[in-house]
């Protein structure tokens, strides 16, 4: 595209469309505005990181998001920076930022876990590795949320060391037969497709014997089970694949390139997990300040120092995430910025938990009906999990150390050993 539309006119048109299709937020809820203070007792007091909804409520929320996304898609705001040959508008990242800034001022359905995964991870990975036929089959349906996709990556014995996965893919003519178990899968109960990383060759080093597939969840042999978490919800699932047959046309990328597909998808996931795609994951520093003022401790020197630290770290993480997000929206391959941003974001979640615990004290123990107090319990319980989601802190530090600081990689004794032999040695 050579002639770009005037960005101010684009923003104005987006604002008019939003005014016609969504309800404007009250000032108290416009938390994306850096100048807007949060008033205690106004707006929502939901600060959960992982939400605890029933399946019925989750499905109701998902259907609302689908309806909204379809409106955006039809109006041309769902694929602003996607290439025109796959149905996008081919505009730069600045136009995406302009639209999302306007959208943040309106009440739109809460996305939850599955929609960002489906659109921000699965669709973008297919955009990077898919054949023209696969892009035609998946990209627009995923971006309009006609269908939803989830990740099938982690396994009971392959979490942070994802390359140790053992889900097996065996070629049978023009089909592949998949057997294995995946775990910690967000949104699997409501997804139609899963992006699975499998092992097709056990006799080469572990990073070389993997292949990626798009797996239809209505295929015989696919079973999804919910996992109950300590905060009471069931955001995650385990998925069992038993003699699941899929055609070779659903293979994503070349045979043996599954690790490359996985790394690309994980790069998009770290951008998502770093908070660069949303400012509404868990509580914010502004909400902590409002709590301190309500509790009468905002003048306490220790609390004030903690609040100042929260603000500084928030700004550093925000700027890092914006840079990483701008690169992704411009079509760049995910880099180590996502890992750095995720480390900052998870550290800030822990800081928020610590400061709000100092401020609210025993009000966190039981729900006494006060607005905005016990609600923080869900943030505190969820924060540790975010240090694992999208790759643990230890994995992120290794990425930053090797790819940013140029430090030598950790010793990998199984790097050049056939995976089957590495498994045998590990059992000794």
**Residue 183 belongs to domain with CATH number:** 2.40.110.10
pTM, full prediction: 0.83
Asked if 248 and 349 sit in the same domain, the reply is: no
Residue 292 domain-assigned (yes or no): yes
Residue 228 domain-assigned (yes or no): yes
Query: By residue range, what is the domain housing residue 308?
Result: 277-405
Instruction: Assign residue 373 the CATH number of its domain.
Output: 1.20.140.10
Residue 241 domain-assigned (yes or no): yes
Asked if 255 and 307 sit in the same domain, the reply is: no
Asked if 222 and 321 sit in the same domain, the reply is: no
Asked if 400 and 281 sit in the same domain, the reply is: yes
Encoded tokens for 74: 């039809």
Chain-centroid distance of CA 56 in Å reads 22
Residue 258: partners with Cβ closer than 8 Å, 6 or more residues away: 197, 198, 199, 200, 210, 211, 212
Q: What is the mean pLDDT of the chain?
A: 88
| Share of residues in the chain with pLDDT > 70 (%) | 91
289 compared with 229, residue with greater pLDDT: 289
Asked if 244 and 295 sit in the same domain, the reply is: no
Residue 113 domain-assigned (yes or no): no
Residue 248 domain-assigned (yes or no): yes
Q: 269-305 pLDDT, tens per residue?
A: 655 554 444 445 678 999 999 999 999 999 999 999 9
Q: 185-200 pLDDT, tens per residue?
A: 989 999 999 999 999 9
Asked if 226 and 190 sit in the same domain, the reply is: yes
Q: How many domains does the chain have?
A: 2
Asked if 220 and 296 sit in the same domain, the reply is: no
Residue 40 domain-assigned (yes or no): no
Query: How much is the average pLDDT of 331-338?
Result: 70
Q: 211-222 pLDDT, tens per residue?
A: 999 999 999 999
Asked if 299 and 325 sit in the same domain, the reply is: yes
Asked if 214 and 254 sit in the same domain, the reply is: yes
Placement of tokens 């729900």 in the chain: 367
319 compared with 297, residue with greater pLDDT: 297
Query: How much is the average pLDDT of 236-263?
Result: 97
Asked if 193 and 261 sit in the same domain, the reply is: yes
Asked if 259 and 322 sit in the same domain, the reply is: no
Asked if 202 and 313 sit in the same domain, the reply is: no
Q: Domain boundary at 266, 295, 314, which?
A: 266
């Amino acid at each position: 595209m050579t002639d770009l539309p005037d960005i101010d006119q684009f923003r104005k048109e987006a604002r008019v469309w939003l005014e016609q299709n969504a309800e404007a937020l009250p000032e108290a809820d416009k938390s994306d505005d850096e100048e807007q203070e949060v008033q205690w007792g106004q707006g929502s007091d939901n600060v959960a990181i992982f939400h605890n909804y029933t399946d019925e409520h989750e499905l109701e929320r998902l259907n609302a998001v689908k309806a909204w996304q379809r409106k955006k898609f039809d109006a041309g705001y769902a694929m602003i920076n996607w290439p025109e040959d796959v149905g996008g508008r081919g505009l730069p990242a600045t136009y995406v930022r302009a639209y999302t800034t306007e959208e943040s001022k309106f009440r739109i359905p809460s996305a939850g876990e599955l929609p960002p995964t489906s659109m921000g991870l699965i669709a973008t990975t297919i955009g990077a590795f898919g054949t023209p036929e696969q892009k035609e089959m998946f990209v627009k349906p995923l971006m309009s949320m006609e269908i939803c996709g989830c990740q099938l990556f982690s396994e009971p014995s392959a979490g942070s060391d994802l390359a140790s996965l053992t889900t097996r893919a065996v070629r049978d003519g023009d089909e592949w037969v998949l057997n294995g178990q995946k775990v910690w899968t967000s949104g699997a109960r409501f997804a139609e497709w899963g992006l699975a990383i499998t092992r097709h060759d056990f006799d080469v080093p572990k990073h070389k014997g993997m292949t990626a597939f798009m797996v239809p969840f209505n295929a015989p042999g696919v079973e999804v089970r919910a996992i109950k978490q300590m905060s009471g919800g069931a955001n995650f699932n385990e998925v069992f694949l038993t003699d699941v047959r899929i055609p070779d046309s659903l293979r994503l990328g070349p045979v043996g390139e599954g690790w490359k597909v996985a790394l690309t998808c994980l790069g998009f996931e770290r951008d998502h997990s770093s908070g660069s795609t949303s400012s509404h994951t868990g509580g914010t520093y502004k909400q902590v300040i409002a709590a301190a003022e309500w509790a009468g401790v905002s003048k306490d020197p220790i609390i004030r120092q903690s609040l100042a630290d929260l603000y500084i770290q928030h700004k550093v993480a925000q700027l890092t995430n914006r840079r990483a997000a701008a690169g992704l929206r411009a079509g760049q391959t995910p880099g180590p910025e996502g890992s750095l941003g995720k480390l900052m974001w998870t550290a800030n979640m822990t800081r928020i938990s610590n400061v709000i615990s100092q401020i609210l004290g025993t009000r966190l123990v039981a729900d006494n009906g006060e607005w905005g107090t016990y609600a923080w319990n869900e943030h505190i319980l969820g924060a540790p999990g975010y240090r694992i989601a999208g790759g643990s802190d230890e994995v992120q530090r290794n990425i930053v150390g090797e790819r940013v600081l140029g430090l030598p990689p950790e010793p990998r004794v199984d790097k050049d050993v056939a995976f089957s032999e590495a498994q045998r040695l590990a059992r000794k």
